[in-house]
Amino acid sequence: MISSDALRPGVIARSAAPRQSICPPPARFAPRFFSLPLLSLALLLPFSLSSTRAAAVEPIKLGEIEPLTGKEAAFGQQAHRGVQMAIAEINARGGVLGRPLVVVVEDNQSKPGDSATVAKKLLSREKVVALLCGGTSSSCNEITPLAQAARIPFVATTATAPEVTEKRDYIFRSCFIDPFQGAVLAKFATTTLKAKRVALLTSVSASYSVGLSKVFREKFTALGGVIAAEQKYSEGDKDFRAQLTAIKAAQVDAIAATGFYTEAALLCKQARDLGLTLPIFGGDGWEAPELIEIGGKAVDGTYYASHYSSESTAPEVREFVKKYRARYNGETPDSMAPLAYDATLIIAEAIARAGTTEGPKLRDALAATKNFPGVTGRTSIDAQRNASKSAVILAVKNGRATYVETIDP
């Protein structure tokens, strides 16, 4: 009974059609146009419904905030697919606590400020029991105070800046953090690339990039490397020739660009135009199909850190990649989808363990997550509510991301 109800087309369709929730549901406005007899009928309707259907099947609502459009759209689109896959699987198994799971997704349009606006809407109007966000650290930083104040757990799936989970005990994440990622990149630059002089290119308006650059600088210098040039740009910049020309004059072995994929692709292209053939590498913010689409030949010979490799032979990864390809026309998922998928399963498991959807109890259950077997590795939530996981380095070769090495915490 419950599982068939969970598979009701309406429930799945709601999670499968993200835009639906962006416009208000028609039912909210419908009574306004009703005449008085109809209105009284409409008021009676909920009672008649509740008598015929058990109250227990009311779905559990999760709120999801994603950059579905705009310059970080690749992150949001992939993450949302991961969430949808997880929800569909959980519901096929009979939901959580005997109730189906639904997700209400909101688009922050990759714009500063919009994440907070839609988070308020999800918390106050949709009354979600938990929040997810596959956007950048800057977007997540807008959501954290709101989730904390509402005492609703919030899981950031890809935000790697440490401050996201700091000081607020309702905030979790399902990915590694930048101090680790910075150390990974520093190790990669010294041992694999054998680089002694590296130029650092930071996006000063992204907290992710600023944080990652800071850690990279510390770790790389500690390993005996030299940061021979430091250049900066802002999100949305398109011209990097000036910075790259200055870098060229500094005669470095490699460039570390810690920003996101749109800028990374453009700067690789301009670097190649300027005759810089050296390796360029970055963090997980590079990971998107657009990197290769915009960058073309120029991104060949670049490297980035990531959370998993779709080429891995681990059974969980192979299973996930197979299901993802079957569902999305044979496309190969990058790490945003499995991270969001894992995060959704972790929340569902925590709800099941808590036995309730109440914020404080769900928070405690999430904090107690140990060795959760996910696609991106075993997740344990540590005392700082971060996940400790290993990182992989991927290389772009002939327009494809290929596995290079795994670096453990």
Partner 1 sequence: MSEFLQQLINGLSLGAIYALIALGYTMVYGVLRFINFAHSDVFMVGSFIGYYLGKIIPENTVWGGLAILLGAMLGCALLGMLIERLAYRRLRGGPTLNVLITAIGVALLLEYSGQVFFGATPRTFPSVFPSANFSFGSLVISSNQIIVIVVAALLMVALQLIVYRTKIGTAMRAVSLNPKAAQLVGVNNDVVISFTFGLGSALAGAGGILYALNYPSIDPLMGVMPGLKAFVAAVLGGIGNIPGAALGGLLLGTVETFVNGSQWSTYKDAIAFAILIIILLFRPAGLLGKFTVEKV
| Region from 32-40, 147-155, 188-196, 238-246 binding partner 1, contact rule CB under 8 A | 238-246
Task: Give me the phi and psi of 90, to 5 degrees please.
Answer: -60, -45
Cβ contact 144:164 at 8 Å: yes
Q: Is 266 in the site for partner 1 (CB under 8 A)?
A: yes
Nearer to partner 1, 109 or 369 (CB): 109
State the binding string over 170-189 for partner 1 (x if CB under 8 A, else -): --------------------
Q: Which two tokens stand for residue 31?
A: 């009574």
Q: Is 216 in the site for partner 1 (CB under 8 A)?
A: no
Which one, of 320, 315, 246, lies nearest residue 89 by Cα?
320
* CA-atom Rg of the chain in angstroms: 23
| Region from 7-15, 27-35, 186-194, 246-254 binding partner 1, contact rule CB under 8 A | 246-254
Q: Is 98 in the site for partner 1 (CB under 8 A)?
A: no
| Region from 41-49, 67-75, 149-157, 277-285 binding partner 1, contact rule CB under 8 A | 67-75
Nearer to partner 1, 69 or 390 (CB): 69
Nearer to partner 1, 236 or 355 (CB): 236
Nearer to partner 1, 71 or 318 (CB): 71
We find the least distance from the C-beta atom of residue 391 to partner 1, in angstroms, to be 27
Q: Is 198 in the site for partner 1 (CB under 8 A)?
A: no
We find the least distance from the C-beta atom of residue 246 to partner 1, in angstroms, to be 4
Nearer to partner 1, 195 or 291 (CB): 291
State the binding string over 295-324 for partner 1 (x if CB under 8 A, else -): -x----------------------------
Nearer to partner 1, 238 or 322 (CB): 238
Q: Is 141 in the site for partner 1 (CB under 8 A)?
A: no
| Region from 32-40, 69-77, 90-98, 166-174 binding partner 1, contact rule CB under 8 A | 69-77
Nearer to partner 1, 81 or 363 (CB): 81
Q: Is 294 in the site for partner 1 (CB under 8 A)?
A: yes
Q: Which two tokens stand for residue 24?
A: 């208000």
We find the least distance from the C-beta atom of residue 108 to partner 1, in angstroms, to be 11
Cβ contact 344:86 at 8 Å: yes
| Region from 15-23, 258-266, 326-334, 358-366 binding partner 1, contact rule CB under 8 A | 258-266
Relative to beta strand 130-133, strand 154-156 is: parallel
We find the least distance from the C-beta atom of residue 76 to partner 1, in angstroms, to be 10
Q: Is 56 in the site for partner 1 (CB under 8 A)?
A: no
Q: Is 236 in the site for partner 1 (CB under 8 A)?
A: yes
Selected binder of partner 1 within 218, 230, 316, 349 (CB under 8 A):
230
Place of tokens 């759209």: 73
Q: Is 243 in the site for partner 1 (CB under 8 A)?
A: yes
Report how far apart, in Å, the C-alpha atoms of 281 and of each of 188, 193, 289, 298 are.
Answer: 10, 10, 16, 13
Selected binder of partner 1 within 149, 246, 352, 368 (CB under 8 A):
246
We find the least distance from the C-beta atom of residue 215 to partner 1, in angstroms, to be 20
Task: Give me the phi and psi of 172, to 5 degrees please.
Answer: -125, 170
* Residue 405 CB neighbour total at 10 angstroms: 16
Using CB under 8 A as the criterion, which residues of the chain lie in contact with partner 1 when the complex forms? 69-71, 73, 109-110, 204, 230-234, 236, 238-239, 241-243, 245-246, 248-249, 262, 265-266, 269, 273-275, 290, 293-294, 296
